[in-house]
Amino acid sequence: MAEMSCDVVVVGAGNAALSAALAARDGGARVIVLERAPEGESGGNSRFTAGAIRTVYNGVEDLKKLIPDLTAEEIARTDYGTYTREQFYDDMARVTQYRANPDMVELLVERSLDTLIWLRGKGVRFLPAYGRQAFKVGDKTRFWGGLTVEASGGGPGLVTALHAAGERNGIAILYGTRALSLLLDERQVRGVHARQGSRSFDIAAKSVVLASGGFEANSEWRTRYLGPGWDLAKVRGTRFNTGDGIRMALEAGAMPYGHWSGCHAVAWDRNAPEFGDLAVGDGFQKHSYPFGIMVNARGERFVDEGADFRNYTYAKYGRVVLEQPAQFCWQIFDGKVLHLLRDEYRIRQVTKARADTIEELAAKLEGVDGAAFLRTMSAYNRAVRQDIPFDPTIKDGRHTDGLSVPKSNWANLIDQPPFEAYQVSCGITFTFGGLRIDTEARVIDTEGEPIPGLFAAGELVGGLFYFNYPGGTGLMSGAVFGRIAGTSAAKAAQVYV
Ligand SMILES: Cc1cc2nc3c(=O)[nH]c(=O)nc-3n(C[C@H](O)[C@H](O)[C@H](O)COP(=O)(O)OP(=O)(O)OC[C@H]3O[C@@H](n4cnc5c(N)ncnc54)[C@H](O)[C@@H]3O)c2cc1C
């Protein structure tokens, strides 16, 4: 006999889970949310984010639907640009090397703005991402890279707003409660078996939404699926996403789907802790490499730092750093661009070297062949096309000539003191492989049929991201597919017998 019952159980308490819970509640369901983490660490990776969220908008009128308090003066001095549905489709296709599931991409793109408007109606507040996605050009602030909106208060603000909305809507969140397995009656899902402390118990439900994240915090699965070396990556976010929801669904016959050997991984401070630290949030990341160069232990460059806007390269460059000798590199900048470095370069917990000459800097780069580094610097500086103007708000084409590893945009001479260097390793954000869902977020089994009563959303769903990822899409996909999963789960609960 189950100790508790409801219409819909949601596993997880991040952005996808709460979007599902709120949508299920809209559909009239009684909802219980299970959160493995204690309350102080709740909210999964969603809490660790800056809250940047990628949505279609066709101009400032669309932004005003999300941010009605934009002032006339603010609008006059800002070029917000647009991010059209065509651009979002193009970005998803291009960065995933045309592998992303088209039905899923269509839902993501077409429902993006509408879903954010719905979340605003639930009490989530949004702002223009002035700090990280805009530069001053003349007397205007100009947005770049298609990522213009962020949740007020970043990830912590988003999760606080979602949990508060849950509470207002009568959704119970059980903290410190880990879902262990699905309750099954033949193929029909009837609830979950869970553990709270030393006590385990059943919760009967008419449908279950799995939204418990990927397997990035599970070093054994990382090594098994992503490959050798991934056990050495640092985890950027929560320690609780160990693949439980994926395992539970696979045990119930679900089909594995998507890029199981792929993940989102970035340049992350070499001395950051094993898992994310909520006091630092995403501050260990170091995303301003397009304005400098990166060198490995051999003192060599190994990747085109200016291949594209950082929004379209950062998620795949963590893997490239992991592949370097001793899994680290140094990012090098000169005095000309220090004002362009993102806020995360100014945190206290940073691995940094500073010098007045390149020679002095070379001696300070721990673990690097200094003589080779100086040769790399001279070759790089000789190759910069100084005749092309530098502009950080566009792909300016200011490139290098004749290097075996080119730099395609934003190539400046590195010649003006002070010189600064930041040591980074690889930080994994989330895994790309997971479960297969259909357009109603029903979990599909290995026969290609929906598993009755089982729905999924967020990081644990496969099929959207391959090789790479456009910044701000994780939160957007969690919200879009969470909302769909919750709506479908509530509908399924009504027809349950
Ligand atoms: C440092 C960092 C910065 C990021 N910045 C951004 C950004 O600015 N914009 C963006 O779009 N994306 C960003 N991302 C990615 C983004 O965090 C994820 O794509 C998104 O938050 C995933 O949401 P989710 O709800 O699927 O998972 P999560 O938010 O991770 O939620 C999973 C939940 O499941 C719970 N859980 C796990 N196992 C169980 C279990 N067995 N039982 C019960 N509960 C369980 C976890 O505790 C957690 O509450 C960032 C990620 C990190 C780590």
> What is the β-pairing status of strands 263-269 and 419-431?
antiparallel
Interval between CA 151 and ligand 1 midpoint (Å): 15
Specify the pLDDT at position 131.
83
Which ligand 1 atom lies nearest to the CA of residue 284? 1
Grade residue 497 by pLDDT with cuts at 50, 70 and 90. low
Write the DSSP string, 134-181: EEEETTEEEE-TT--EEETTHHHHHHHHHHHHHHHTT-EEETTEEEEE
**Token duo for residue 349:** 């917990």
**Angle at 333 (CA atoms; ends 330, 338), nearest 5 degrees:** 130
The closest residue, in CA terms, to atom 27 on ligand 1 is: 213
How many Cβ atoms sit within 10 Å of the Cβ of residue 447? 8
Residue 454 has pLDDT above 70, yes or no: yes
Interval between CA 380 and ligand 1 midpoint (Å): 39
DSSP state of 343: G
Grade residue 134 by pLDDT with cuts at 50, 70 and 90. confident
Residue 495 has pLDDT above 90, yes or no: no
Pocket test for ligand 1, best of 32, 41, 45 (most atoms within 8 A of CB): 45
Grade residue 3 by pLDDT with cuts at 50, 70 and 90. confident
* pLDDT per residue as tens digits for the range 295-306: 999 999 999 999
The closest residue, in CA terms, to atom 13 on ligand 1 is: 49
Residue 326's Cβ-count burial label (10 Å; 0-12, 13-18, 19+) is exposed
Interval between CA 1 and ligand 1 midpoint (Å): 32
Beta bridge partners of 422: 331, 352
Specify the pLDDT at position 1.
59
Specify the pLDDT at position 346.
96
> Average pLDDT, whole number, for the chain?
96
Specify the pLDDT at position 304.
98
Interval between CA 291 and ligand 1 midpoint (Å): 29
* pLDDT per residue as tens digits for the range 304-354: 999 999 999 999 999 999 999 999 999 999 999 999 999 999 999 999 999
Residues with CB under 6 A from ligand 1: 11-17, 34-37, 42-46, 48-53, 178-179, 211-213, 236-238, 240-241, 244, 276, 282, 429-430, 458-459, 472-475, 478
Angle, in degrees to the nearest 10, between helices 473-495 and 112-121: 70
* pLDDT per residue as tens digits for the range 164-215: 999 999 999 999 999 999 999 988 999 999 999 999 999 999 999 999 999 9
Interval between CA 43 and ligand 1 midpoint (Å): 7
Which ligand 1 atom lies nearest to the CA of residue 482? 25
Of all residues in the chain, the percent with pLDDT exceeding 70 is: 99
